[in-house]
Structure 1
Amino acid sequence: MFPGATDPTDTPPGDGIPPRTRAAMADATSPAAGDGAGGPQAGIVSAATAVVSEHGEAQSASTVLPAVLSDVPVAVLLIDQKSGAVTYANTAAVEMAGNVGLPVDVDTWGASAGLTDLGGAPLARTSGPLSLVAQGLPVTGEAVRLSPARSTDEQRASDGEDAGSRLLWVTGFPLSRPGSTQALSLVVLLEVESVGGSADADAELQALRERAVVATDIAFTITDPRQADNPLVWVNPSFTRITGYSYEESVGRNCRFLQGSKTDPATIDQIRAALAAQEAVTVTVLNHRRDGTAFWNQLAISPVFDGQGELVSFVGVQSDVTERVRVEAEREASLAAEQAARQEAELARAVAEQARSDAERAQREAEEAQARLALMAEATSTLIATLDVADLLDRLATLCVPQLADWVVVTLVDEAGEVRELVCRDRERQRTDLRQFGAGHALRLPPDSPSQRSITTSRAVLVEDLPDRLDGAMAFPAAQEIARRLGAASSLSAPLVARRRTRGAITLVRSTSERPFTPDDVGLVEDLARRAALVMDNVRLYQQEHVVADTLQRSLLPDLPEVPGLEAAAHYVSASTAADVGGDFYDLLELPDGSVAMVIGDVVGHDVAAAAAMGHLRGLIRACLWDAPDPRPSTVLTRVDRLVQGLRVASLATMAYLRAVPPAEPGGTWTVQLANAGHPPLVVRSPDGQVRPVDGVTGMLVGVDVDAERTTRTLELPPGSIVLAYTDGLVESPGSDLDQGIAALVQRLAATPAGASPRDLCDAAVSGTLDGRDDVALIAVRFL
């Protein structure tokens, strides 16, 4: 449906619906039109048959189209191809033809409007543009004359024969494809310019071409809300010219594909709300063409209902108004700029002196604020660059002098409140005096000391008459004398509070009263103290966790034992930034029956918690290996899996277990049995230097299925062979799969010189670029 309305006074008797319209409505509401079998034509037919309501009244689209076409004088007709009748005319078309009852034969409507060809002959013939459109043929553009005096409308006839003729540009196209249950066509008539009395035909045609371009900016679209996501079911050629999207690229998609990152979400919400309420809406929205360029689109959407009042379609009328929006924006910006300039000029003349004073003060404040921000930025980057407390305190003192004070004292206290560390710094770097001051002052902080008061109250303490209070501020005369020699006019102390605990205080001292502390200084020093205290506490926590992690690592990753007939080496790298431990582990164990067990495993996670779970799992594996009734690796892994799930030792883990039986006689081959529980394959380096992964040994991860069965593979290894076991952190990296990582590892191992030791292989294995996101553990064993 397109905006416009028929005249309700011209409807036939009875129920008030014209016969042709009633027939069209019956077809539109039939199963063939509503069950979706007609494809895009179903929505188009519904749009055509719903131009009038049950009582012949115009739909709300009649108020929408004039808003869209406010700058484009255009008339719109809808023609039934089967009957050759005009079934719908918008307001502009009604004004053109007068009070002509619809539906009406297309030739009759043309005669009523007074349409002729450029030679003055009536259009009521099969070759006329209206007749061609009525036959389902497209008319890309043809000029016709409009003689209002020929209209059957008495009011138009009253204008007289001398009213003059007008030139129109006619375009038309079918709305339906061949085979549709109904065949409809759309006609757009655009007035080009008045030609009464003009003899310059070439000028008229040139003007016609220029004005006809405007008609191509009017796009019509139809959507079907009965289909999922309310897709487009038809677009006219103007839509393709405006957007760049062809008919095939548009139909079947929701029109949101025209939106972009700069489309106003509020406008989209307005459209969405109108569609949900089945109401007409007119908006101006920023859309994007197929080539990505943006354009302003004035869009009017009207709901279309069938004879039963059911929503069957939405019809959209679109116009490219980019130039208009740009001109309006420029005009508004120009007016706003002009008004602002006038107000600023008037204000400047009235308060010129005050403005200069304010500007100077604002500049000073801006410079001070910039200096504070620069100091905070420098403090953050400087303080976090060290993990040593003494260095941190020295950096903090350096930040304060001379920017904030002439000399500074940073005091740290222990849990009992006793001074445990003190750092001093002054403008002249008088190290001797400061060391003497620190030695005397740090022995005890009197209750009236600014530092002690700040620590006790956890608030900033400002002392403006410090010379009168030196006796109470410092316990020893030597410290008081040094303070007087350095200069002590005022002091500002701020507590070092982190995680609700006071760690100490920072006291800034200024030597002269000419530079007193301001409220801005108090806020700045408090902020600096908070940052410094948090960094200090982070250093403390890091050192504590590092000690714990180091102890845990040493207990969970033991030194490899010396086993006769073997040469072994191992390597471990943690992915945790807080602690040097993780969930990966390895082990080498000589069993009671004379065989040797080599285990590599990986518990899910890479932090202290994963390391703790790994410790439990490693102990459990050792117990299972030591007294296993069936020494086959597959049986041992199954037993470990059952114990892990039964005791809830770890959530998930991968593991590979190798059991090596020494040769019966020196120089013989080693018999190796191998089982795998979801772990990367082990790699074997032959005595001749060839390196290959041991494929074909797979099994379920530990912790997934308690009844999982795994297989055992047996290998015969000649003396001098080296077996390398590793975790997935060695071969996994972003952008590559596990096979690529294993292949790269094989290449690195094969590149080692002949006779390379297990330690050499470990070093070569980790010589590649490690991702650092996962732990890496590896163990290499040479069988002699």
Structure 2
Amino acid sequence: MQLDDHALSASAPRTADPRATAVLPPIVRDKPAATLLVDVERGTVVFANRLAVELAPGLHLPVSLHDWSLEAGLVTPDGAPLGAGEFSLADLAAGRPARGVAVTAARRSDESAAREAMWVVGVPLTDAPAPLTRQSLVILLPVREEEALRALQDRAGDLHARAAMASELSFTISDPHEPDDPLVWVNPAFERVTGYSSRDSVGRNCRFLQGPDTDRATIDRLREALRRGETFAETILNYRKDGTPFWNQVVISPVLDADGVITHHVGIQADVTERVELERARDEALDEARVTSERLQLLAEVVDALAHHLDYGDAVDALADVAVPALATWGFVTVTTDAGRIERIHIATTHPESSAAARILETEDISWLTRSPSVAAALSSESGYVAAPFPVDVANLPERTTPRQLDALQELGLGSALVVPLRARDRVIGVLCLVHESVDGFPRAVVDTAAHLGQRAGLALDNVRLYLREREAALTLQHSLLPEIPEVEGLDIAASYVPAVHRAQVGGDWFDVLPLPDGALGLAVGDVVGHDLRAAASMGQLRSVLRSYAWSGEHAGRVVAHLDELVRGLGMADISTCVYLRLEVTDEGADGTRRLTYSRAGHPTPLLRLPDGEVVALSGALSTPIGVTTLGEPAPQAEQLMPRGSVLVVYSDGLVERRDRSLREGIAELTRTFAEVPAGASAAEIRDELVERLVSERQEDDVCLLVVRIP
């Protein structure tokens, strides 16, 4: 058992013996040493202070001197284990040799390094009051403490010094043969620590040190240990004579006679208040750090859950599913419309068997919620409102619930509740309600966490709602700039625009299907750099300019060239890619074959699947993107026959390019997928199949896809 060094470093002993005073200050007060209390007759260590425990940490006392020496790894200067030569630790405890021997220990302590030269001296307490006469102190002191070591060696044979040293430990002796096991002797250190004099103490059971906050269970264990004749070791909250509390590290051991009969109880005590308070402060700091860490982790989980949901209802459900199980038995999140009407509620419970009751309260009449005074108070609260837990008013619930609602609430559990407003900027958009089965179910840490959660989650939910509104408006604008697909005789046409899921802005991707006056069909897909209103405006300008040149009947190369010239000349748009294709019936097209001419301004390769299933890449006619300065070279043009049963696919790069896949790899995957689509599939079915297989759930870029089929 460990005795704190404070017990061995108190103020100078109040003894009249000048020889003892000369020995004690450098040994006990100024130079803390590893110290053992030894039962010499039994050859056992019955007590060890902190420094001694650090030298032999793996033992439970009492333990034999031999085992302690082995665990500490005590070795003499010649490298032999202590005890292998002339003297053992038991010899030293008995005072042989009086001046001690040199050793090293295997481990370090706060006062010595591993294998640092030390001197071990035994101080038998032969002049101490009985039954301490068979006890001994074994002290291990670094050799570098020359002055203390010399004093210890010089006085090692002085019995008065030994008794004085013993007096620096707080000792008590009680007589179990007398009624109530009274104290029969206390030393001066006990008087100094407790404030009780020998006259106050002798004749009384030491329970007079107990007070209102002394742990009764510990006292019960003490009584039981003494009843069984066992050593008791514990730290107890005791009280001094003046009423001040202190933490008392106590070891009470039985003293046996030659027949094994208990004659006395010897108590060794140390005031460890400072150490306990430091440990408590450390534990409180660790608890606070743990609570803060758990709170931050929960807040991060909630924010992350909300960030992954673009549907407002799903975000509300995610908040309840993450927050409630971490903080309460059950609870719910409800949100309101701009007019203050409750529009959604989601209940989460930690008891799966109560899920049916939760669904009843969610999906049926929610009057139980609209009539709740605590919910109404939170929804109408002002900034600075502090939510506090309260016992559920079970008695008044029947007045504002139906019998079915009341049964469901009681099944979920009613004890205490905490209703936190979900505050977003300048208003409350809903509440987080936490319910615990117990009336005392919400510690302060949970209340604080819920308050933080209400602020963070409210703002996050409002951001989701604002994002969805902005995204809906942006998509409405985006789609208003895209054309309706016209009905074209002899052709099956389908198109799709898929916006990036993580953007609320409009983009620059576009497509066009334009029946021309000469009977040909103009097809275009383009992509303006950027995802903002400027890109959308540029997209609209490009589409209008391309339409005007295509309407004139110009071939594909001239249309792209005119488009590039006008854009660069007027500074109409940012850099963009574009492919324009002109599909027309040939003179020899009685079998349905059409001629396809095309020109690409930096745009990905269109694909043509022939009736036999072969997929041909229209990789010709490539020039620089629109808006990129060239040396006046004309836009190239290529031609490809498109027989009956062929399918043309034109797309923007969002369909094939991702962070984890290059453009080349994406086109290769599109080619394989396109080839696998059934031959009889319609244009709409082909479009849907390509979108399903190539567009990810969290698409990072807008996608335009145009499919033209000659049936």
**TM-score between both structures, scaled by the size of structure 1:** 0.45
TM-score (norm 2): 0.49
